[in-house]
Structure 1
């Protein structure tokens, strides 16, 4: 793997994630973009791990849930990240049915707690700042998934 290309990838993704999630961004927009962003990387993992993954992506009409199950079944993602992504999907679906919903600390904890100590460290200094914790958590989850997808794509290239 080319370390320079990887560093460039990480820098570009970090800039995208900061632009998407940090600052005065509506929570609905954040959850929708996080969902789209992570789904895109789930698709990249499917394409890189399955011989004809393109058939599933182009013609399978699979939901986010199904794509996550496929990635889980090929053991491409750690269980902690799978749980966080599953809870992120549930939160997004909850938002879809309650347009005026606000993210609660319990919602953030449900998505973040599967990450264990990493989430505990993320929470430090953010007590009472649910929006900031939520943004930071989304950046963390998205960057973890992007790094995994990058490694899988380049191992199988």
Structure 2
């Protein structure tokens, strides 16, 4: 996310949050005819995603934690993202997502071998990893939707079959 290439963690976090929210909005546009979701807060949008099962449940924790960081940055002049905040956000990732992040992080430092490891770069790469996984889900939304629809149909067919057997 080149747009998060900034010196201030505040700007990095806020811009990443906006890009992530854009992906969530893009998902909503695929399932809603109107834009009634526009008035919802980020947290409400994440809750709606969870309720509707339109993103993987393992993505909810990182989105919720990022939103807490964003809110703290936006409403508390003294808040600074610390190593512990980074660790907290990292701890919300699934095992697979954490592996993906570590690969991205090592690749970043390999390409930028002259740079010392820093919280700013680590946090930036972590946010980019969270965004890219959400972006991938967005791109493959209809595959997810079709799979979920198939699961529901199979479950309903089983329920109907059980009803027929019960009254036969």
**1:153 Cα offset (Å):** 5.9
How high is the TM-score relative to the length of structure 2? 0.68
- Picking from 17, 21, 25, the partner of 2:4 is 21
Unpaired stretches in structure 1, ≥5 consecutive residues: 1-16
1:134 matched to 2:123: yes
Equivalent residue runs for 1:99-110 within 5 Å: 99-110=77-88
Larger CA Rg, structure 1 vs 2: 2
- RMSD, matched Cα: 2.7
Unaligned 5+ segments in structure 2 are 110-115, 146-168
**Moved segments of 4+, more than 3 Å:** 123-128, 153-156
Q: TM-score, normalised by structure 1?
A: 0.73
Correspondences of 1:65-104 after superposition (within 5 Å): 65-104=43-82
Partner in structure 2 of residue 57 of structure 1: 37
Tell me if 1:46 matches 2:18: no
Distance 1:108 1:27 in 2: 11
**What is the match of residue 12 of structure 1?**
none
Separation of aligned partners in 1, 2:127 and 2:35: 29
